[in-house]
Amino acid sequence: MQSIKQFFAKFYSTEGVPSEIFNKTLYFAIFVFGILGCGRGYDEGYIGGVVSKQPFIDTFGLDNPSWSESYEANVESNITSMVILGSIGGSLFAMYFIDRFGRVRTLQGSLILWIVAVIIEITSTDLGQLYAGRLIEGLAIGQTVVIGPCYLSEIAPKNIRGLANCIFAGAVYFGSFMSNFINYGCSLHIDTNSQKQWIIPTAIKIVVAGLLFIGSLFCFESPRWLAKKGQEEKTSIALSKIRNLPTDHPYVLSELSDIQEQISVEILEHGKMTKFGAFKELFTIKSLRYRILLALSAQILGQWSFAGSITVYMTELVSLVGVTGTRRVLYSAILGVVKFSSAYIGAFFVIDILGRKKALLMGITIQLIATLYFAIYLQIVPQATENNIQLTDSQSRAGVAALASLFITGVGWTLGWNSIQYLINSEMLPIHVRHIGTALIMIFHFANQYGNTKALPSMLIYLTPAGTFFFASAILVIGLFWAWFLLPEIAGRSLESMEELFNLPWYLIGRKGAQLCPDHSGIAHIKQNGEITEMNIKSEQEFVEEVSNYSGNSSSNNQKNVDLEKGAH
């Protein structure tokens, strides 16, 4: 335990933070809710391999000679994407459940539902039952992507909030890595005609869900949810346990004060809101509108870069550069290892140390270079996608590089888009709309993932393989500009300090927000010995003048000053 504390002290900004807050209770909660991400990753990794196995094809009649090639592709696409479709509904349910029942109880309910869904799948003998099982599984998995990030953002100290959420994001690829190797192991060691070829990889999900359920029994409820529900004593106890500090320690008291102050302000300004009222505020209040549109646009740009679809269709995509046979499954498994490894490198050494913005810019750049190379290779050597074609030595070497570029896209994705797509949703939004906003963003996430998973096979046909990856490259170029201009740096800020940052004029939030609005929450000024440091907060006039200096247009300063005086400070 001491070595973990030393690790955080060495690589993270923990000066003045009590060392007790890095403790086994916190680590265990981060592990349980973090590893929860493996649920969707496992399915994405295993289903592409399972649908190509002969026993699965025979069981569900996927080799029907009366089916056209396009109809067969559509059925396969329906099977692979049914969990994604169900996840849209799951995220919608989570919008209500996590606010009504809490983060921990909602997790436990979703895990039970997941087990039931898998039992339906492994007992299926026709497509209808299989579709039903996978749709219900999606209802469970869709809840996890709302529960996990919300809980992790709410319990993690601000110094490692990015790490905690990236444990969840990286677990997606732990699941993918695990499922790919289970698929590969079944291909090697189980009779190719045995139903166990697909039942064993599917049934493993029951074990995962069961272990997570047991782990959840030992996790404390989110103190911020308890505070929102007015359970002050339970809030204090839960926060004290998670921080491993007495309830009267200045760090705990200061964090409680920040939480209660934000909740009091929200109640004063908004009262007791209905779900519709909270949803409406996301789009009618300027600072909230910026945040929700920022998060939704991140989902569009991230999903349509096709990194997720590459994971699902890796066995088919490697055939574009001449890989055949069981090696396709092996390369799919290797992609899982690459994404898993790079995701956790990003979690421990990038997202909190470099910050959200630099991590994303670096990741997009890597992904763009690799995607563009793959597109150019397919454009110059289109015959590589054909069977029994002899390539020249230079074309073969370029093909090896093209194969490598598919793996490099995974590195860029996990360091960039994947590291922020769950994180910023839950940390940007205030608690009274966090459950609504996070659920809405995840619904949008799954809708886009479903769309591009369904679209990729058709795009490869109608746009050609090269055109499809040129399209993805163009999306990544847009993403670079988006990240530079619109995304603010929020690493190291308390959840309660976000409001003033997003009340800046929209054109300053991404480029100058962190500089203009440092974290002034009480918890940012607690020393390790419990003393409180002096908070050098600018006066309102100093703040307005500094913001005005960035406007670059003195003739409009007066109007901007009026706007700022109304909303910024």
Kindly indicate the confidence band of residue 566, based on its pLDDT and cuts at 50, 70 and 90: very low
> What are 417-436's pLDDT values in tens digits?
998 988 888 899 998 899 89
315 and 372 share one domain: yes
Share of the chain above pLDDT 90, in %: 52
In a domain, 249, yes or no: no
pLDDT for the residue numbered 565? 41
Q: Which two tokens mark 18?
A: 């009590």
Interatomic CA distance for residues 336 and 343, integer angstroms: 10
> What are 247-270's pLDDT values in tens digits?
999 999 999 999 998 888 878 776
* Mean per-residue pLDDT, 136-142: 96
444 and 561 share one domain: no
Q: For 156, list phi and psi in degrees, rounded to 5.
A: -75, 140
Domain boundary among 460, 486, 512: 486
* Mean per-residue pLDDT, 375-393: 77
377 and 511 share one domain: no
In a domain, 227, yes or no: no
Share of the chain above pLDDT 70, in %: 87
Q: Which two tokens mark 309?
A: 């679809």
Interatomic CA distance for residues 299 and 296, integer angstroms: 5
In a domain, 206, yes or no: yes
In a domain, 499, yes or no: no
407 and 468 share one domain: yes
385 and 521 share one domain: no
Among 10-24, 33-47, 469-483, name the most confident range.
Answer: 469-483
Q: Do 52 and 325 touch, CB atoms closer than 8 A?
A: no
Q: Do 50 and 183 touch, CB atoms closer than 8 A?
A: yes
In a domain, 237, yes or no: no
**Full domain range(s) for residue 371:** 16-219+277-486
Domain boundary among 433, 454, 486: 486
Higher per-residue pLDDT: 229 or 548: 229
What's the mean pLDDT when you consider all of the chain?
Answer: 86
Kindly indicate the confidence band of residue 440, based on its pLDDT and cuts at 50, 70 and 90: very high
In a domain, 554, yes or no: yes
> What are 152-197's pLDDT values in tens digits?
999 999 889 999 999 998 898 888 888 878 988 888 889 888 999 9
Least confident of 49-58, 115-124, 268-277: 268-277
Q: Do 83 and 43 touch, CB atoms closer than 8 A?
A: yes
Kindly indicate the confidence band of residue 568, based on its pLDDT and cuts at 50, 70 and 90: very low
Residue 539 has pLDDT above 60, yes or no: no
Q: CATH code at 204?
A: 1.20.1250.20
pLDDT for the residue numbered 559? 46
Residue 31 has pLDDT above 60, yes or no: yes
Q: What is the DSSP string of 324-376?
A: -TTHHHHHHHHHHHHHHHHHHHHHHHTTTTT-HHHHHHHHHHHHHHHHHHHHH
- The helix-helix angle for 286-303 and 431-462 (nearest 10°) equals 30
Kindly indicate the confidence band of residue 502, based on its pLDDT and cuts at 50, 70 and 90: very high
87 and 52 share one domain: yes
The secondary structure of residue 248, as a DSSP letter, is T
Interatomic CA distance for residues 385 and 405, integer angstroms: 16
524 and 426 share one domain: no
Kindly indicate the confidence band of residue 383, based on its pLDDT and cuts at 50, 70 and 90: low
Residue at 60: amino acid letter: F
Domain boundary among 457, 486, 515: 486
40 and 141 share one domain: yes
Q: What is the DSSP string of 386-444?
A: STT-PPPHHHHHHHHHHHHHHHHHHHHHHHTHHHHTTHHHHHHS-HHHHHHHHHHHHHH
Residue 80 has pLDDT above 90, yes or no: no
Higher per-residue pLDDT: 389 or 193: 193
pLDDT for the residue numbered 556? 46
Residue 129 has pLDDT above 90, yes or no: yes
* Mean per-residue pLDDT, 104-109: 97
Residue 524 has pLDDT above 70, yes or no: no
Q: Do 252 and 243 touch, CB atoms closer than 8 A?
A: yes
* Mean per-residue pLDDT, 3-20: 67
Interatomic CA distance for residues 475 and 477, integer angstroms: 5
* Mean per-residue pLDDT, 286-314: 92
- The domain tally of the chain equals 2
Long-range pairs, 559-567, Cβ under 8 A, ≥24? 560/505, 563/505, 564/505, 565/540, 567/286, 567/287, 567/503
119 and 205 share one domain: yes
Least confident of 241-245, 394-398, 410-414, 521-525: 521-525
89 and 137 share one domain: yes
Q: Which two tokens mark 351?
A: 């997202």
Interatomic CA distance for residues 235 and 245, integer angstroms: 13
471 and 516 share one domain: no
Higher per-residue pLDDT: 181 or 470: 470
In a domain, 185, yes or no: yes
Interatomic CA distance for residues 157 and 492, integer angstroms: 9
Least confident of 6-20, 272-286, 441-455, 492-506: 6-20
pLDDT for the residue numbered 218? 96
Residue at 228: amino acid letter: K
Q: Is 230 left (phi over 0), alpha (psi -120 to 50) or beta?
A: left
482 and 524 share one domain: no
Residue 557 has pLDDT above 90, yes or no: no
pLDDT for the residue numbered 104? 97
Q: Which two tokens mark 204?
A: 């493993």
In a domain, 229, yes or no: no
pLDDT for the residue numbered 453? 80
